[in-house]
Amino acid sequence: MTGRHLEGHGARSTNAPKIISVVFLAFIFLPGLMGVTGLRTDFDLQLEQRPRTPFPALLSSHSDFDTVSREFEAAYLDHIGFRRHLIKLHSYLKAALFGVPPNNRTVFGIDGWMYTAGGPVDIFLSKVRFDAKHAGPKWFDFLETRNELAKKASAIYKFTVAPDKLDIYPEYFPPRLGRRGPVDFLAEFGSCCGLQALGYVPLRDRLVERKFDFDLPIYYRTDFHWNQYGAEIAVELLIEEVAKENSTIPRLSRDDLIFAKELYKTGSEAINTGLPEYFAETEPKVALNSKYWDYKSTEIVDPAKLVSGSYRTLTTKSLLVTARLRTLVIHDSFGDQWINYFPRSFGEVIAVGTRAILSHETVRLLIEIWKPDVIIEELAAAKLTMTPPERPTTH
């Protein structure tokens, strides 16, 4: 054997242990890495004797929200994995771009997933798409009827939690407004709907500029979703707006806005385990259906009980009440995760909505009998089945 042959043989012999080591290490550590990232391998699926979970179809009813989060999570882990790692990286990149320190006081929304530097907030908030051509006029008439009811009740203010991006919720607006910037669009929308006379406040458009000195999470609207942190900031804005017209309303103190963010340390798990403790004083129940509060999905508020005082203020041990307003929260959409946090900082509150379909007759009775000072309505509602009777439109 020549020297050259001996040299080549020695090189192959030297590389063989390295290759074997790499294969061995990959065999040992790769399954662990796959487990960390959450990606389901074909071998895992064979052991579980099941196919890969398909991504959930477009939501067609409100009952779909009972399962969509779990189905989406399972499908993502089966097909993609790496979700939490990508979200965390995404959050840090945004923190760097916006000059925001990546700490637990900053919450980022990533296409429905929320994440802080301390951990994920895995509440997937999806959205329902409707046919804009047909939904626009119906939605306009629906809002018009609600505004008329509020005017007749002489409500001091009607605050509207409005969507902030046309490319996300174009189906909720009259088509004649066209595609405009968020600020101009909301102003024109409020004007054409007659909302200005009721103290129309597009809250979502103002959250980005709002910061606090004390320990309250800040929501940066880097994506499209409103969330429960934004709701706390919105409460402060509501009080400020109303206080301009009524000097007897006290300012909210620091204690009033302390947010129990520990409920969200581990996402929906923390919500399910934490809310019963914080809402133990809720008696009797003042809101319609919340799966976290064990309300019955078919429960309807009896307006007569509001007068007799059978329905009391929603209070908790962790939050004090300083504002003394009779507030009606009309929640027409599916966002159970955040709308129910408004009542915690108001004096007298009736919250209605969630999955129950509220007719205009029910809302009319609530307004007439309870005579609220403030009406809070979620404008980005999906329940277009609540449209008023047919009548000519001007579209």
Tell me the per-residue pLDDT of 114-123, one tens digit each, with 9 for 90 and over.
444 444 433 2
The token pair at 139 is 């939605």
Cross-strand partners of 7: none
**Is the CB of residue 279 less than 8 Å from the CB of residue 241?**
no
Q: Residue 268 and residue 112: Cα distance in Å, rounded? A: 14
What mean pLDDT is predicted for residues 73-92?
62
Tell me the per-residue pLDDT of 248-306, one tens digit each, with 9 for 90 and over.
444 444 333 333 222 222 223 323 333 333 333 332 232 322 222 222 222 333 333 33
- Identify the pLDDT of residue 22: 75
**Is the CB of residue 318 less than 8 Å from the CB of residue 341?**
no
Of the pLDDT bands very low, low, confident and very high (cuts 50, 70, 90), residue 243 is low
Tell me the per-residue pLDDT of 97-112, one tens digit each, with 9 for 90 and over.
655 555 544 444 443 3
How much of the chain exceeds pLDDT 90, in percent?
0
- Rounded to 5 degrees, φ, ψ at 109 are -105, 125
Of the pLDDT bands very low, low, confident and very high (cuts 50, 70, 90), residue 152 is low
The DSSP code for 72 is H
Q: Which residue has the higher pLDDT, 284 or 141?
A: 141
Cross-strand partners of 114: 109, 121
- Identify the pLDDT of residue 125: 26
What mean pLDDT is predicted for residues 328-354?
47
Does the pTM of the predicted model rise above 0.75?
no
* pLDDT(21) > 70: yes
Q: Residue 270 and residue 121: Cα distance in Å, rounded? A: 10
Q: What angle, rounded to 10 degrees, do the helices at 360-370 and 132-152 form?
A: 20
Contacts of 313 (CB under 8 A, 6+ apart): 286, 321, 343, 347, 348, 349
- Identify the pLDDT of residue 54: 77
Residue 49 Rama label (left phi>0; alpha psi -120 to 50; beta): left
What mean pLDDT is predicted for residues 71-100?
61
Q: Residue 256 and residue 346: Cα distance in Å, rounded? A: 10
Of the pLDDT bands very low, low, confident and very high (cuts 50, 70, 90), residue 168 is very low
The token pair at 296 is 């019955």
- Identify the pLDDT of residue 283: 28
In the chain the beta strands, taken as DSSP E runs, fall at: 106-110, 113-116, 119-121, 157-161, 218-219, 326-331, 348-353, 374-378
Q: Highest mean pLDDT range out of 69-83, 137-151, 252-266, 277-291?
A: 69-83
Show me where the domains of the chain are located: 3-37, 132-386
- Identify the pLDDT of residue 20: 76
267 to each of 15, 89, 97, how far by Cα in Å? 48, 18, 26
Q: What is the largest CA-CA distance in the chain?
A: 106
What mean pLDDT is predicted for residues 40-45?
60
